[in-house]
Structures are given as structure tokens and as C-alpha cells.
Amino acid sequence: MILNGLSDANGAGQPIFMLQWTYTEFSMENNAIEMTGITKTFPGVVANDNINLSVLDNEVHALLGENGAGKSTLMSILFGSYDPDAGTIRIRGKEVKIKDPNAATALGIGMVHQHFKLVHNYTVTENIVLGDESRTRFGMLDLKTAEKRVAELSEKYGLRVNPRDKIEDISVGMQQRVEILKTLYRNADILILDEPSAVLTPQEIDELMDIIRRLKSEGKTIILITHKLKEIKAVAERCTVLRRGKYIGTVDVRDVSEEQMAEMMVGRAIKFEIDKAAENPGEVLLAISNLSVRNSRGLLGVKKLSLDVRAGEIVGIAGVDGNGQTELIYGITGLSRAETGSITVRGKEISGMTVKERILAGVGHIPEDRHRHGLVLDFSVAENCVLKNYDSPPFSDGLGVLDFTAINSHAAELISQYDIRAGEGPSMKARNMSGGNQQKVIIAREIDLSPDVLVVAQPTRGLDVGAIEYIRKRIVAERDKGRAILLISFELDEIMNLCDRIAIISKGEIAGIFNSGEVDEHQIGFMMAGSKNKTAEKERA
Amino acid sequence: MNNIIGKVPTILMLVSPILITATGGMICERSGVVNIALEGLMVCGAFASAAAHFFLEPVLGNSLSVWVSLLIGSMAGLVFSYVHAFASVSLNADQTVSGTGINLLANGVTIFLSQILFKQDRTKQFILGMMPGPGGIYPTAFIALLVIFVAWFVLYKRPFGLRLRACGENPQAAASVGINVLRIRYAAVLASGFLAGLAGSCLVLTTNTQFNSTTVNGHGFIALAVVSFGRWKPLGIAGASLLFGTALAFSIIASDYTLLRRMPTEIFNIMPYAITLLTLVIFSGKNYAPLSAGKPYEKGAS
Amino acid sequence: MMIQASRKRSLRELLISSDGALSVLVVLLGFLCGTILILVVGRNPVGMYKAILQVLTGYNIDRGRFYVRYIGEWLAQSMPYILCGLSMAFAARTGLFNIGGEGQYVIGLTVAQFFALLGPQIPVLHWMIALVLAMIGGALWGGIVGWLKAKYEVSEVVATIMLNYIALYASRILIMRIPGTNTYKTPDYPVTALLRAPFLEKLTSGSMLNLGIFFVILSVIVYWFIIEKTRLGYGLRATGFNKDAARYGGIPVVKSIVLSMAIAGAFAGLAGGIVSLGSFRFGRVLSGNDGYGFAGIAVALVGNNTALGTLLAGLLFGMLSSAQPLMESNSIPKEISYIIQGLVVVFIAIRGGLRIVMTYSLKKKAAQEAQGK
């Protein structure tokens, strides 16, 4: 069988990347999975357009594409969550119709979701057996038998868990192992892992790679959905690339470089590095000293944290989700009260101020959850643009009456300045815009307020490469204007690329602060896991 | 001391309907559906059983007629709750609005049917309601105990219960392992309708000889507060029902104490509602609610 | 064939895009079900429609004459529905479900009665101050709920219902303390406390239409202005749509919730004041709820929480209510109006779901057509 892969990215018919590969005499039966001509449309978008995928038995096969390429949809079809509009699926040579997850499970397919599907106050065992519970003679719930089997599986595959722990009490890495055990408990031979490393520290990612190798050695077939090229290089044998719902090609991982895979993924050569002028930091604009903030469960999320950010610099907070980033952001912006400690902006103490007062004092905030905090989705673009200053001139007069002419023209300006695609103009409802454009509205609004201090959280999450590049450029531009920028991100690449200084947060404390270039990924990962660095202590003193 | 023991039957008489309704409310909310319509469903059950008993008592004799009427009242609650189930579960309607609509509807339909059947705004009086059992305690107390026990058993000892509770905490997780969330929620809402109808029937057959517009008088809403105060757990709900039932019983008991007899009866009428409000404030237990209660379930959303 | 298809499509699109169209459909459905119910129990539904016609136009089909009085009664009876609808709608715009209209109404009524009987008998000022105090009373009763919700996360649904019952019983206790009061009525009001206006009564040949109507119209305008045109309205709407984003934007969410419930309570309290001083010559010892607070829920839902919608819906419910005595004389039980109310609320709840279903089926069709090309 000779296959040709052709990528036709710019629509002008010019092939940018061509790859030819041959597999001789692989018969159909060696394919664990064969998806042919899969098409799936949702209202307004073609998620999968005539996609072919073949996965060999006992292979580790990567599915590569950027956000919105269609990988999750394709796998959801394989797992029975969606019905394809067209196309066929063959499992071990036999054509099947997978109408729901139960059917997929019966075929030996298991899915480990990106957003864990776990019940927070159930134990590990209860989560694993849910839906497939072992029963006693009288039909009663039999958790003891289940516990034994969980322990056996855990031993066999090297997935360390405690069957009696409650999900809300265990680490994210352990929760992921519970998700994997769910599939093994149901005798899955084919495991689909959806962006598994998104929530892990570098060490946990290494452990995950080991787990994948172990599963392969036990005979499992693995499909790895990811956009992390390093991981594909680490464990995958072949890689199928999707772009904008279309099948681009399948490559042997050993034969291609990361750059080549990236180009297939995006359709053009992309720069990994950002052009950045050397930093020229000025005075300290944001000074945090001994800050402690409680989280929503009443525990201290941030413990006596101290940090300075100077004008004209970007300080990055690196760390795994759940180590205090959210509490730190809330503490600085006023969404949570500071338990102890002080926060000053240009020397002025703000820790006792309301959110509004801090906005007026020059604290800007690009929130991590654009739908929850950043926008009122049912408001128009124009109304969202004045969310923080609607109550002062020129947008409302002394009596409190709104001036819609001013509001609308302000929005029109921002739309053109920031290249926001709002088809219906300022009156368009935010809900109807794409994720990238919604984020641009938020960024436009925040930057337009000219804050001295800008707190930026996960600015590029879930966006396509074009939007990501634009947003990163804007952040650097603000830094060059002399703002103090605090960047919180779970993407280590983003931190290392954009930031002038990097602080590692672990369990609510700063484990170390370094100038960028002084540390590499593994040192950062080591600190994320909880051991502090002596040099950092000296710096703070 | 004897005096207080003598009040126990009265207290239990009022505790039982609250406990039964609250159990239904707990089951419903644990599956993820908020059921504000418990009040209206109790009204349906009370009306149906009062009307049924009036017609059946001469025919079947008091004992049999009472139990048949209880069943009829429960079925009335079940049938009416189907509307709420359909709106909230199948159509993803706003559960609060749908529940309020049921309450309004129940009030209107029951009085309307009373007009048609009895030519007055209430049912015609039946001769004798439910007869008290040993110690003067009505059988409804035992019914209530049975109900809460069975609920505890199913929720915590049976696979069905494990799945139902999962639907209330994280329906996406339940769906991902092949559980039919919609079917379980339907079952939960219908169960709460059956129980609320049963409770309304118990109420009217033990405290009155007819149904009118003040028979239920907010007990359904008190049951909602009981669920919240009891932290959605069977034991807590039992205790909370005891507390609120006692408060309700006060207005009846008070007439036995000379000191309290002087006070206007309205003070005792206010007490249960004031206590409910106070406990809600002091023990605002929002953190203990099932995580997905009240949120419409959307298939395929992550 | 083609023409039929395109007309059908535009009806579906209209129903999806226009809340007003959907509301009209829901109301019609409610009436349809009511009519069916009347038929089922063996009465003649025409009697209901004859009564409605007479109330709206004053025209009595059977007698072939106009009676202006019925139009006046219709407007008079609409007043508390409109105000209680505004009460519920205002809270709803802030994301709150105010079922406490009944209690806030009772408080307003009680306060107005007190001041009417015990306050200084200065013409005009007497009833005007009574109304203002009624609004303040309602505002306080609503504000408590807002504060409990904002600070203690107490569900406003249960809190308002508890306060409804407390208000009712408290009203009884307090009113009965007024000297000269028996178990159902107080002494007559002094003339200066009444909302009666001779010119209005002449205009509608003896109906109960009173000065309250001007306050109702003013309330509708004030409602619209606050919500749509002021920064207070912006803050409330933002809080209603997305509390988290509002907090993030610096909007004082706790204050907004309290203020919103207070204003909502004021509308309902005003309704209580207008009913007690406009429709009665003496104070009442309430034995049960007047029901306007609960009906207000339906009014706001049908009116989709807008000023104009609430006005029209309030007029609709006022029509149903003032037609009741006429219906009774045509042997239709008056409860039919409560049933239609309840049905309307249930259908409105489903409306959201219906819209989703219709939107999805429309988009699916469009996608299929696009693919065909």
C-alpha cells in the first residue's frame, strides 16, 4: 500500500509540504482502528471533513493539531459520543456502528478525557466502578470486591493510587491515573488519551510517558491526542496531523523534525520565539509583601508570598494549576480579601481597597476564564468595552444617565485598533464571537485603560496560533510602554518565551525567582514539585 | 413531663408529611433537579385524596378508603410532577420558573375541580380521616420512617443510588460511563412527586376533614428548607423535619398552656416560618448542595 | 409547495428571534388549554370570551349596549398586576427570582392602612405620604431578602416565601391593634386618605378607577428609564447576566442585589398601597393573600421583564380578573383565570427549551442545505 500525503494550506493550490511514505504489505487485520471518510458538522462549523485515520495494533499513534482542528471531535466519534454524518469505522477489520460510550466500551475502546470526568466527593474506587458496579447476590453495591480489583490493576500497570482516597483530596496526576484505571477496569485494549499532559508538571509528564510505554508493553493500543511536539517525539511511533477539520497527512515520527510537524499543523512556518527587545526595567510598580489569601474552601491558597514587578518588565508565574495562582490573582485584583500582608501599586497600599478602587488605582486584569470573569456574554461588544468605566464621563453624565453615542464610538475605535472581527459591529453580542475575538475584546479594554500594573492569566488558552501570536505581541508591546506585567500561565513555553523574570509558585509560596535564561525546564519542574531553591531565598532577603 | 410526652402524637402528625416531602426533595435534588413545585404537588395530593376519601369512605369503609385515598393522592402527585420533569429534564427549562408554574397551576386546578365537583372552594367533608394507631400516633409516622429508610438504603447501598448521586454531582462524568442521566433525573422527579402527593394526603387525612386553600400552607417550602438544613443527607433531614414539625405543632399545642393562650395565635403561626428563615441564615449550607443541582444538563458539553 | 415552505420557515424564525411573538403564542396556548378544560367539565367556553369582550370594550353582546364602566374596572384591576409584574421583572433583570411580591405587597398595604387611619388628615399629602411609606415598607421587606442573599447566600426563593407568610400574619396582628378594628375590617378611612378622583369616576361612569393609575404609568416609565438608560441599570443588568464578570469589573454586587430587591419591593409595596386606598373605604384584616404578588410572577414572565411587555401583560391579567364576575354569571368558575396564569408560567418555562429545539432544527436544516451545495 502506498500512501501520499499532501498538505495544501494556503488554499491557492500550492503544496507547501509534501511527504511520501510507503508501508509495504500491512494487511487490513493489523489495523486496530480504521476510520474512513469521517465527516461531522455542527451548526455553523465543519468539525471533521472527510478524515481518514488508521491505527495499527499495539501502536502508540499521535493525533496532532492545534485548538479547533477537530481532534477531539474525531475521537468523540470513535468513543460513541457523536454520530458521524458520513464515513465508516472498522475495529480489527470489522465494520461497526458505535452509537454510545457503552458500545465503545464493549468494543474495548476507552477514553481518558482532557477534563476529567470524576465525581469530586466519591472515592477512587467509586469513580472507577460507576456505571459498571460489582454487586452481591442481592443486588447490593459491593465495593469490597471492586477495591480488590482496583488494587490488582494498579499493581499490574504501575498506576499508583489509593482506592479509598476521595478525588477532591488527591493530586491531579493521581486523578489522571484514576481515569486510566477506569478504562482498564472495563478491559479496554484501545486507549485514547486526550491532551493528557495539559495539567501535569514536567516530572509528572515524564511519569506519564513511562505509563504509556508500560501500557504498550502490556499489549495496549494508544491514541495520543496532543499539540505538544516534544511528547510526540518522546513516545509516539506514527502521527496523524489535522488542520481546520481536514486530514493533512500521517508521518513516521522518527523521520520528521518538530519543526516539520509544526508546519503541517499550522500550514506555514511558525516562529517559536518572540522577537523581544532587551528589557529595561524601571521602578517597582507592584510590590507584594507577605501576602496570604484564602481560597474558596477556606484554606490558605497563598502563604506569605512576596514579589516585586518593575515597570517595563514581564514577570512570569510558573506552576501547576492549583498551587495558588488563582488566589494570588484574586488577592491582587481584589476578588478575594488578603488575610495578611500588603500590596502596593506605585507605593500606594491597595490591599484594603475594593475591586473598583484598585481598577482606578491602575490594576488591570486579563482573567483566566474569559467567559466567567472577562465578559458579560449577553452584553454587546460596546457594553463589554465599558465594563470597568461605564459609570464615569464620558460614558455617563453627572446624573447617572448613560451616553450610548460615546459608548458605541469608543467600541468602534477599539474594534478597528485591535483588529477585532465583530461582524455586526459594536452592537454584536459577545456570545456570538469566536474565542479569539472575545479575548481580543478583553485585551483591548484592559490595555485601553492604561493600567500601571497588568495581571495576565492564561491569555492564550484555547486559541489558534494566529490569535496567540497577536496576543503575545501585544503583551510585549505593553511591557515596552513601561507597564509592569505579571503573567500567569501553565504553558511553560509561553513563560520561558515571554518573561524577563520567572517565579515558580508551589503550594502557595514562591519556590524560586530567576532571570529568564538562567534556568531550564527541568529545574523549573523540580521546583514546581515542592523543593525550594536556596538562591531564591537569598534573592528575596 | 407527661404533658410533653402527650404532645408527641401531635408533633409527629405534623413532622411526618414534612419528612416525606423532604425525602422526595432530597432524592430530586441529589439527582440534579431543583424541585420548587413540592408545595403544589402536596396540594394536588391533598386534594385528590380528600376528594377520593369523601367518595370512597361510605363505599369501602374508613380503613380501606383511607389507604386507597393515600395511593390516589400519591398518584396525583406523580402525574403532576411529570410536567415538571418534562419541562426541566427534557426541555432544559429554568427549573425555578417551571416549579413556580406548577405551584400556581396546582392551586388553580384544585380549587377549580372543587368548584366543579362540590360546588364550593373546598372539598366536602369526609366523616373520619385516618385513625390514630397505638399510643395515639398516626400510621403516617411509620410511613415516614419507612420512606426515609428506604431512601437511605437505595441511595447508599444500591448501584442505582450511586448513579443517581453522580448525576447530581457531575452529570458529565456519569454520562461518560454510559449512565442515562435524563432517565435517572426523570425517575427522581417522579419519585419526589409521588412522595409529595403522599405527604399531602397524609397531611389532609390526619389534620383535617376536608381540603381547602390553606391545607398545605407552605409546608412544601418548609420541606425545601429542611433538605437544605439537613445537608441533603437522610439523617440530617430526619432531624430537621423534627425541628420544623415541632415548630408547626406549636400553634396547636400552645392552647394547652395558659401562659401561651393569651398571645395572639398569629405569633405561633409565624414561628415555623421565622425559624425556617433563621436556620437558613445561620446554617446557609450552599457548600453542601449537590454540585450540579439546578443546572440543566446539556449532552456533549465538556 | 415552495411558497408554503418559505412561509413556515419565517414563522419559526420569528418565534425564535422575537420574545414578544413567543409570549403571544404562550398566552394563546394558555387560553386554548383553558377553553379545552372548560369544555371537558361540561361548561360553555363562549361565556368566557363574552365576558372578556365586555371587559375590554364595554360592549355586552347579549344586550347590544356599551357600558364604559367595565373598561374603567379593567384598568383599575390591572394596576396591582402591572406593579407586581414590574416588581418581579426588576428583580429578574438583576438575576433574582422575587417570589416575595406577595409579602412586599402586604407590608405596603399594612403601612398604608396605618398611615391612612392614624396620620394627619391633610388633603393630597395624606394619601401621597401613605403611598410613599408603603413603597418604603415594601422596599425594606425586599431589601432584607437581597441582603440575606448577597451576604449569606440564602436562596431568595425560600426566603421570600417565608417572609410572605410572616408578613401576612404580622399584618393581622398589627392591624387588629388599631382601635375600632374587628376581625375583618378597621374603621372607615378619613376622606383625605382616599385615592378617589371624582373626574375619573365620572369619566368611567362609576368604576373604581382612581388616581393610582397615574402612579402606575409613572412606574412603568421609571422602570424603563432606570434599567435601560442609567448606570445603575447597567450595573444591575450586568449583575443579572453574569455576577462573576460584574464583580471582576468592579461593580458592587452585594449593594446591587440589595438595591435591586429593595426597588422591586417598592413596586409591590406601592401596589399594596394603591389597592388599599383606592379600592376600599376601610382597612382590611387580611385572612389570606390577595394573590397579586404571585400573579406578578406570571405577568413579568409573559412580559419578558420589559417595561412595555409588563404593562401589556398586566393589562391582560387585569382583564382576566375583572371578567371573573361576568364569567361566574355565565357559570364559568372564576378559578379558570388562575389556571390560565399557571399554564402560562409553565409554558414560559418551556419556551426557553422550545426555542433551543427550534433553533437547532433550523440550523440543522441550513447546514444540510449548505452541504447539498
Amino acid at C18: S
Q: Write the DSSP string, B121-173.
A: SSPPPPS--PPP-GGG--HHHHHHHHHHHHHHHHHHHSHHHHHHHHHHH-HHH
C364 to chain B, closest Cα gap in Å: 17
Q: Are C96 and C257 in contact (CB under 8 A)?
A: yes
Query: Is residue A9 scored above 80 in pLDDT?
Result: no
Chain C partners (3+ C-beta pairs within 8 A): A, B
Is there a domain that residue B294 lies in? no
The pLDDT of residue C7 is 54
Q: Are B102 and C346 a contacting pair at CB < 8 A? A: yes
Q: Give which of A83, A376, A396 to mutate to test C binding, by max C Cβ within 10 Å.
A: A376
pLDDT of residue A82: 86
Based on the structure, what is the number of domains in chain B?
A: 1
Cβ neighbours of residue A90 closer than 8 Å, sequence gap 6 or more: A28, A31, A33, A34, A35, A36, A96
A356 interaction partners in chain C (CB closer than 8 Å): 250-252
Query: Could you tell me if C236 and C227 are in contact, meaning their C-beta atoms sit under 8 angstroms apart?
Result: yes
Q: Which residues of C touch A373 (CB under 8 A)?
A: 244-245, 247-248
Residue type at B159?
A: P
Of B93, B96, B107, which has the smallest distance from its Cβ to C338's Cβ?
B107
The ranges assigned to domains in chain C are 79-304
Q: Residue length, chain B?
A: 302
> Of all residues in chain B, what percent are helix, strand and coil, respectively (each to 5)?
75, 0, 25
The residue of chain C with its CA nearest to that of A45 is C367
Whether residues B228 and C155 touch (CB distance < 8 A) is answered with yes
User: How near does any CA of chain C get to the CA of B76, in Å?
Assistant: 17
Helix axes of C292-302 and C253-278: crossing angle, nearest 10 degrees? 120
pLDDT at A178: 94
The helix (H) or strand (E) run that includes residue B113 is helix B95-118
Q: Given an 8 Å threshold on Cβ–Cβ distance, is C248 in contact with A44?
A: no
Domains, chain A, with CATH or none: 1-108+190-197+221-270 (3.40.50.300), 274-362+451-541 (3.40.50.300), 371-450 (no CATH)
What number is the average pLDDT over the span B188-196? 96
Q: What is the mean pLDDT of residues C47-74?
A: 82
Q: Which residues of A198-237 are buried (b: 16+ CB within 10 A; e: fewer)?
A: bbbbbebbebbbebbeebbeeebbbbbbbbbbebbbbbbb
b (16+ CB within 10 A) / e for C298-336: bbbbbbbbbbebbbbbbbbbbbbbbbbebbeebebbbbb
* pLDDT of A274: 67
* Interface mutation target, options C26, C339, C343, chain B, most CBs of B under 10 Å: C339
Position A56 scores a pLDDT of 92
Please tell me the distance from the alpha carbon of residue B245 to that of residue B15, in angstroms, as a whole number. 4
Quick check: A101 contacting B, CB < 8 Å?
A: yes
Q: Is A103 on the interface with C (CB under 8 A)?
A: no
| Inside any domain, residue B158 | yes
Reference B118, options B52, B58, B21; nearest CA is B52
pLDDT in tens, A475-507: 999 999 999 999 998 888 888 889 999 999 888
User: Quick one: closest CA in A to C370, which residue?
Assistant: A44
Q: Is residue B298 part of a domain?
A: no
Instruction: Decide if C356 touches B, using CB distance below 8 A.
Output: yes
pLDDT of residue C371: 54
Among A122, A121, A117, A81, which Cα is nearest to A100's? A81
How far is the C-alpha of B269 from the C-alpha of C165, rounded, in Å?
9
Task: Return d(Cα B174, Cα A127) in angstroms, integer.
Answer: 9
Tell me how far apart the alpha carbons of residues C84 and C314 are, in angstroms, rounded to a whole number. 9
- Full DSSP string of C253-296: HHHHHHHHHHHHHHHHHHHHHHHHHHS-SEEE--SS--SHHHHH
Strand order in the sheet with A300-310: A300-310, A284-294, A338-345, A348-349
Backbone phi and psi for residue B226, each to the nearest 5 degrees, phi listed first: -60, -45
Q: What is the CATH number of the domain that holds B222?
A: 1.10.3470
pLDDT digits (tens, 9 = 90+) for A107-158: 999 999 888 899 999 999 999 999 888 888 888 888 889 999 999 999 998 8
Q: Do C339 and B92 touch (CB under 8 A)?
A: no
In C137-156, the residues whose Cβ lies within 8 Å of chain B are 148, 152-155
- Give contacts of C249 with chain A, Cβ < 8 Å: 355, 359, 387-388
Q: In the predicted model, what is the mean pLDDT of residues B68-92?
A: 90
Nearest partner of B200 among B49, B27, B23, judged by Cα: B49
The domain in which residue B75 lies consists of: 2-131+139-288
Residues 25-64 of A with CB under 8 A from C: 41, 43-44
Report which of residues A3 and C311 the model is more confident about. C311
Indicate the residue of B157, B166, B172 with minimum beta-carbon distance to A130: B166
Range in A312-316, A519-523, B34-38 with the lowest mean pLDDT: A519-523
Comparing alpha-carbon positions, the chain A residue that sits nearest to B180 is A131
With a CB-CB cutoff of 8 Å, which residues 86-115 of chain C face chain B?
A: 97, 99
* Calpha distance A225→A220 (Å, rounded): 16
Q: What is the pLDDT of residue A16?
A: 38
C-alpha span between A433 and C83 (Å, rounded)? 37
B 199-218 near C (Cβ less than 8 A): 213-214, 217-218
ipTM: 0.84
Chain A: list its partners (3+ Cβ pairs within 8 Å): B, C
What value does the mean pLDDT take over residues C310-320? 91
Q: In this structure, are residues A369 and A377 in contact, taking their beta carbons and an 8 Å threshold?
A: no
What would the mean pLDDT of C113-139 be, rounded to a whole number?
92
Mean pLDDT of chain A: 85
Tens digit of each residue's pLDDT (9 = 90 or more) over A505-533: 888 889 889 988 888 877 887 777 664 33
Q: Do C251 and A356 touch (CB under 8 A)?
A: yes
Interface contacts A/B by beta carbons within 8 Å: 65
**pLDDT score, position B284:** 64
What span, in angstroms and rounded, lies between the C-alpha atoms of A317 and C165? 54
What phi, psi does A393 have (nearest 5°)? Answer: -60, 150
Instruction: Please report residues of A whose CB lies closer than 8 A to that of B178.
Output: 100-102, 105, 131
Identify the closest residue of chain B to A136 by CA–CA distance: B158
Residue A50 has pLDDT above 70, yes or no: yes
Residues of chain A in contact with residue C231, where contact means CB-CB under 8 angstroms, are 390-391, 396, 400-402
pLDDT band (50, 70, 90) for residue A313: very high
> Per-residue pLDDT for A392 more than 70?
yes
Q: Shortest CB distance from C335 goes to which of B94, B96, B111?
A: B111
A41, A373, A401: residue with CB nearest C248? A373
